[in-house]
Amino acid sequence: MDYKRLYHIMLNASEKAIEAIENGEAERAAEILVAAEQEAEEYYIENISE
């Protein structure tokens, strides 16, 4: 399992979400975080046995 990849997925999303919040786009920030969570979960499920 490449935990660094999971970390980068969430880190990149959090940076984008912070930027969206700073621009007054809270809904977009939430969408970014939800999408990243789903991506990380899918990766984890696909690679859990490694």
Q: What percent of the chain has pLDDT over 90?
A: 92
Q: Nearest-5° angle of CA 13, CA 18, CA 23?
A: 125
Res 50 pLDDT > 80:
no
Cβ atoms < 10 Å from Cβ of 23: 10
For residue 1, pLDDT over 90 is answered with no
Cα(49)–Cα(27) distance, integer angstroms: 35
What average pLDDT does the structure give for the chain?
96
HSE (CB half, 13 Å, CA atoms) of 8?
Answer: 5
Residue 49 confidence (pLDDT): 79
Q: What is the pLDDT of residues 19-36, one digit of tens each?
A: 999 999 999 999 999 999
Res. 45: pLDDT tops 90:
yes
